[in-house]
Structure 1
Amino acid sequence: MDTILDALQEGRLFELPENDKEHALRFLAHVIEAFPETAPGTDVVELVMNREQATNTAIGKGWACPHARVPYEEDLMCVVGWSPTGIDYGAPDGNPVSLVVMHVVPENQRNHYLREVSLLAKALEGYSTFETLAKLKTLDEVRNYLLDLIAQTKTAVGPDTRVKMIRLQTRPAPEPVVIQDLSNLIIEPVTLITAPGMKCVALTQNLKLSDWLESETEVIKKIETEGVFQGSGWRVLCRNSTAYPGGRAAYDCIALSLSPNNSRLKK
């Protein structure tokens, strides 16, 4: 279960913005598409959704393990999404899914992936209960829960994995925010405001990002219809939206940099 441990270590644990299955899968897949290791042009969203249509990836006890197989060689990676309220996922045991572990599986990592899933299933048999998972209230509690679960497989992991676990267990708990730093990527929270007869207003601390979004005429249309807008090295994902009287609306988004040339403005 070293990929889940790596995800915790690198801040790839997210609180899912909604309890809708398709939205959750698309959100996590878009995050994977923004990884520097993901080959340009890889449509992780389509790969994940096609796989999910063919086979439900819920494994019971509040867990689901969707994945995308990709035709290139790279490390095995995953992101972990947590839904506080649970997702109606169509799980075989009928329970809502609280944890979604999404892997991207390169050609050279298929055996590694199968071993990871096998270890997870074994750990869930002897440790996890749906009731325990349903009681978790914060990302920090989720992180500790996952560390305890990984510890159940300690006889099957090497010394490097145990060292990582010790470091994570002794690290001060992060502030319970929805989005954390994702490896070396830049992640910016953005609020988009729109109203009839008014151009889009982008509220973010990154002035270059704000100027770019406000110059794009299609940003609101894309966010409304597809939930994502991309260009100029950024991928903007809609997490939630709120409608107001008079046709006004606010879109709560995150922007992930897709280019190493993007940088946060210095204060």
Structure 2
Amino acid sequence: MKLSDFVVREAVTVDLHATTKEEAIREIVAGLRDAGRLAEADLEGVTRAILNREELGSTGIGQGVAVPHTRHPTVDRLIGTVALSPKGVEFAALDGEPVDILFLLVSPPNQPGDHLRALENISRHLKDEQFVRFLRQARTREQVLDVLDEADQSGT
């Protein structure tokens, strides 16, 4: 599975305005709606599902990275996006540091394999210091997409 298999390119943002976990999740989910991948009527349900997942334990994995995710019946295929926060988001990360790179995933409940493969793919890339550094240097959606495409090409 490649990042391009599930990242909604039109929903990638490099200037997340949110400063709290809930604001960030709301802003990113709204980006998926604006990209035509979520219906307006499903916005609150998906947001709530992600926030409920966060109550089980923060998906802020440390070193400025978070991977909020959920399964939700209103999506028919795995979708995700990337958001960069120039100011950082208080995300209750494991290391207590603000988060500036967020990968958000939403998948159908009946596709747990795809959900896990996507999380594993993201995790593998986030362990690559060069990948993370290039993402942090990206200032435009196109630059983020170039980093993701390069990661897909290299297969790291």
TM over 0.5: yes
1:121 equivalent to 2:123? Answer yes
1:71-86 equivalent positions in 2, closer than 5 A: 71=73, 74-86=76-88
**Residue in 2 that maps onto 1:109:** 111
Contact 1:61 1:129 in 2 (8 A): no
User: Which structure has more strand as a fraction of its residues?
Assistant: 1
Q: 1:11 to 1:38 in 2, by over 3 A?
A: closer
Contact 2:12 2:31 in 1 (8 A): no
**Residue in 1 that maps onto 2:28:** 28
- Secondary structure at the residue paired with 1:82? strand
Partner Cα distance (1:82, 1:6) in 2: 17
- Secondary structure at the residue paired with 1:86? strand
**Residue in 1 that maps onto 2:17:** 17
Q: 1:122 to 1:133 in 2, by over 3 A?
A: same
Contact 1:4 1:80 in 2 (8 A): no
Q: 1:57 to 1:77 in 2, by over 3 A?
A: same
- Secondary structure at the residue paired with 2:80? strand
Partner Cα distance (1:130, 1:96) in 2: 15
1:51 equivalent to 2:50? Answer no
Contact 1:82 1:99 in 2 (8 A): yes
Q: Based on CA coordinates, which of the two structures has the bigger radius of gyration?
A: 1
Q: What per-residue deviation string (whole Å, max 9, x for no partner) do you get for residues 116-168 of structure 1?
A: 111221222234475554443333332323233333426xxxxxxxxxxxxxx
1:145 equivalent to 2:144? Answer no
User: Which structure has more helix as a fraction of its residues?
Assistant: 2
Partner Cα distance (1:62, 1:128) in 2: 14
Alpha-carbon offset, residue 88 of structure 1: 2.4
Alpha-carbon offset, residue 23 of structure 1: 0.9
1:152-171 equivalent positions in 2, closer than 5 A: 152-153=154-155
Residue type of the partner of 2:10?
A: G
**Residue in 2 that maps onto 1:7:** 7
- Secondary structure at the residue paired with 1:84? strand
Contact 2:72 2:108 in 1 (8 A): yes
Alpha-carbon offset, residue 38 of structure 1: 4.4
**Structure 1: 5+ residue stretches without partners:** 155-267
Contact 1:86 1:97 in 2 (8 A): yes
TM-score, normalised with respect to structure 2: 0.75
Partner Cα distance (2:85, 2:20) in 1: 9
* Number of residue pairs matched by the alignment: 153
Contact 1:30 1:44 in 2 (8 A): no
1:164-243 equivalent positions in 2, closer than 5 A: none
Partner Cα distance (1:127, 1:64) in 2: 15
- Secondary structure at the residue paired with 2:126? helix
Q: 1:126 to 1:38 in 2, by over 3 A?
A: closer
TM-score, normalised with respect to structure 1: 0.48
Q: 1:131 to 1:39 in 2, by over 3 A?
A: closer
**Residue in 2 that maps onto 1:175:** none
- Secondary structure at the residue paired with 1:81? strand
